[in-house]
């Protein structure tokens, strides 16, 4: 990378590109925004992709009714699993084809959105998802029209170009990404997150916060993702506690939805780090909720990384977190650890894993090292480092975390 310019107290700016083609619609009630955006796409048949839990809230039915009222024919696939697989993708794609849907509307968290994103890519490019996951088949065509309606404030998948899907025949979960895979439209209405229970609000919110933190402290930062990441962190610090304590607090819900949006854009451009690498390894064995796993890992990864975060970045982080700018890395670690604790989320693996848990932790460490984001971590990571962090997480008392 060629260094081109320096800007006063900011880091030197390397060459960079920033691409985010998704149209973002904020604040309009979903039942009004979806028909309007589908009409703007010029299609009269759509497939709604959602999950069984969300289907019980009535939101997909309400969107369906609004679309039908607008003269749009609607098919529904409401069976996406919490950890979507290539079978989920194949099912959604098949229904989209048989119903001749001109667009897919995903309503849900990252699972529904990633399933729809993967299906939309296949509809345009052909073949099976595994061809792209394992054989490196190139993606050459813009995805089938696809509208994302997030109902959690966490994954940021509505503004990322990656879909993470499990292949039942492989233990390792590998994402597929392409700038041709961005959603065409993201519809964000904080009201739809009011029904999210406290523990999911907290876990998904920590995921959003970690996206911003890892994007800001990684090796591929750029000035635009920095802006987004810092504002995401500020909003998450302000909103996470109140949104978890009182789900009907619309200001807090709005803060968290923006935090997730900005965090998603930042990490899509600037990458992630050790928390997500370890989360990938751990979740492939323990099948934990992604955000919950991130919360468990965060204090340990922070402690490992803090010495490698550049001083100017540490000062800006301290400022955004509401600490004195010269508070130092340990205070940043302590503050974020305390935030996780205050949300009643577990730290470490001590409360999750017992003597009967049959996991090969050497495999988990090796799989964490296969995650691409490990190379974006501010401090160089080895498999021995991953193993040592897992060991500390298993004993939970190490590092004084619990
Ligand atoms: Fe994440």
pLDDT tens per residue across all 402 residues of the chain: 444 444 444 565 678 999 999 999 999 999 999 999 999 999 999 999 999 999 999 999 999 999 999 999 999 999 999 889 999 999 999 999 999 999 999 999 999 999 999 999 999 999 999 899 988 899 999 999 999 999 999 999 999 999 999 887 777 778 899 999 999 999 999 999 999 999 999 999 999 999 999 999 999 999 999 999 999 999 999 999 999 999 999 999 999 999 999 999 999 999 999 999 999 999 988 889 999 999 999 999 999 999 999 999 999 999 999 999 999 999 999 999 999 999 999 999 988 888 778 899 999 999 999 999 999 999 999 999 999 999 999 987 434 444
Going from the Cα of 294 to the center of ligand 1, the distance in angstroms, rounded, reads: 7
Going from the Cα of 291 to the center of ligand 1, the distance in angstroms, rounded, reads: 6
Going from the Cα of 208 to the center of ligand 1, the distance in angstroms, rounded, reads: 7
Question: Is there a contact between 86 and 166 (Cβ–Cβ < 8 Å)?
Answer: yes
Distances (CA, A) of 91 to 47, 122, 199: 12, 12, 30
Going from the Cα of 272 to the center of ligand 1, the distance in angstroms, rounded, reads: 8
- What CATH architecture is 23-193? 3-Layer(aba) Sandwich (3.40)
Question: Quick one: how far is CA 349 from the chain centroid?
Answer: 21
In the numeric block, which tokens belong to residue 68? 């039908």
Going from the Cα of 226 to the center of ligand 1, the distance in angstroms, rounded, reads: 17
Going from the Cα of 338 to the center of ligand 1, the distance in angstroms, rounded, reads: 20
Question: Is there a contact between 134 and 170 (Cβ–Cβ < 8 Å)?
Answer: yes
Going from the Cα of 37 to the center of ligand 1, the distance in angstroms, rounded, reads: 27
Longest Cα pair distance anywhere in the chain, in angstroms? 60
Going from the Cα of 269 to the center of ligand 1, the distance in angstroms, rounded, reads: 14
Residues in the chain: 402
pLDDT at 400: 44
Going from the Cα of 155 to the center of ligand 1, the distance in angstroms, rounded, reads: 6
Going from the Cα of 98 to the center of ligand 1, the distance in angstroms, rounded, reads: 33
The CATH topology of domain 198-400 is Dehydroquinate synthase-like, alpha domain (1.20.1090)
Q: Hey, is 132 helix, strand or coil?
A: helix
Going from the Cα of 112 to the center of ligand 1, the distance in angstroms, rounded, reads: 15
366-399 core/surface letters (b: 16 or more CB in 10 A; e: else)? ebbbebebbebbbeebeeebbbebbebbbebebb
Going from the Cα of 365 to the center of ligand 1, the distance in angstroms, rounded, reads: 18
Question: Is there a contact between 297 and 279 (Cβ–Cβ < 8 Å)?
Answer: yes
CA angle (318 as vertex; 313, 323 as ends), nearest 5: 165
Among residues 374, 379, 373, which one has the least CA distance to residue 160? 373
**Residue 180 burial by Cβ neighbours in a 10 Å radius (0-12, 13-18, 19+):** middle
Going from the Cα of 283 to the center of ligand 1, the distance in angstroms, rounded, reads: 12
Going from the Cα of 34 to the center of ligand 1, the distance in angstroms, rounded, reads: 26
Residue whose token pair is 């992604």: 290
pLDDT at 11: 60
Going from the Cα of 36 to the center of ligand 1, the distance in angstroms, rounded, reads: 30
Question: Is there a contact between 236 and 126 (Cβ–Cβ < 8 Å)?
Answer: no
CA angle (392 as vertex; 390, 396 as ends), nearest 5: 115
Per CATH, 23-193 and 198-400 having the same topology is answered no
Nearest-angstrom CA–CA distance, 271 and 397: 30
Going from the Cα of 211 to the center of ligand 1, the distance in angstroms, rounded, reads: 6
Going from the Cα of 296 to the center of ligand 1, the distance in angstroms, rounded, reads: 13
Going from the Cα of 290 to the center of ligand 1, the distance in angstroms, rounded, reads: 7
Among residues 30, 96, 103, 38, which one has the least CA distance to residue 71? 38
Domain boundaries, the chain: 23-193, 198-400
H or E segment and range at residue 214: helix 198-217
Going from the Cα of 207 to the center of ligand 1, the distance in angstroms, rounded, reads: 5
Residue whose token pair is 């619990």: 402
Pairing of strands 103-108, 146-150: parallel
């Amino acid at each position: 990378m060629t260094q081109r310019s320096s800007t006063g107290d900011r880091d030197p700016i390397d060459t960079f590109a920033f691409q985010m083609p998704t149209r973002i619609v904020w604040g309009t009630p979903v039942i009004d925004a979806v028909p309007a955006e589908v009409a703007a796409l010029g299609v009269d048949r759509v497939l709604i992709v959602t999950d069984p839990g969300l289907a019980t809230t009535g939101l997909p039915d309400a969107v369906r009714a609004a679309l039908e009222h607008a003269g749009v024919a609607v098919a529904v696939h409401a069976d996406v699993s919490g950890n979507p697989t290539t079978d989920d993708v194949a099912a959604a794609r098949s229904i989209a084809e048989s119903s001749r849907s001109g667009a897919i509307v995903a309503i849900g968290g990252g699972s529904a959105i990633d399933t729809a994103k993967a299906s939309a890519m296949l509809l345009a490019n052909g073949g099976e998802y595994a061809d792209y996951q394992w054989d490196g088949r190139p993606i050459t065509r813009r995805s089938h029209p696809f509208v994302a309606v997030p109902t959690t404030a966490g994954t940021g998948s509505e503004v990322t170009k990656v879909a993470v899907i499990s292949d039942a025949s492989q233990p390792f979960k590998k994402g597929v990404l392409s700038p041709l895979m961005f959603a065409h439209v993201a519809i964000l209405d904080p009201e739809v997150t009011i029904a999210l229970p406290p523990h999911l609000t907290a876990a998904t919110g920590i995921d959003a916060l970690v996206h911003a933190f890892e994007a800001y402290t990684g090796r591929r930062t750029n000035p635009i993702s920095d802006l987004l990441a810092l504002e995401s962190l500020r909003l998450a610090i302000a909103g996470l506690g109140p949104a978890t304590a009182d789900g009907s607090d619309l200001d807090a819900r709005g803060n968290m939805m923006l935090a997730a949006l900005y965090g998603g854009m930042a990490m899509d451009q600037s990458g992630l780090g050790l928390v997500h690498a370890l989360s990938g390894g751990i979740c492939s064995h323990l099948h934990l909720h992604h955000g919950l796993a991130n919360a468990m890992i965060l204090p340990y990864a922070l402690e490992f990384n803090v010495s490698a975060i550049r001083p100017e970045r540490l000062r800006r982080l301290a400022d955004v977190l509401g600490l004195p700018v010269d508070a130092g890395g340990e205070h940043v670690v302590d503050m974020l650890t305390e935030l996780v604790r205050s949300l009643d989320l577990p730290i470490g693996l001590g409360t999750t894993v017992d003597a009967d848990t049959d996991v090969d932790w050497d495999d988990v460490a090796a799989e964490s090292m296969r995650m691409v984001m490990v190379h974006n971590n501010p401090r160089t990571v080895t498999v021995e480092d991953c193993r040592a962090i897992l060991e500390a997480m298993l004993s939970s008392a190490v590092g004084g975390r619990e």
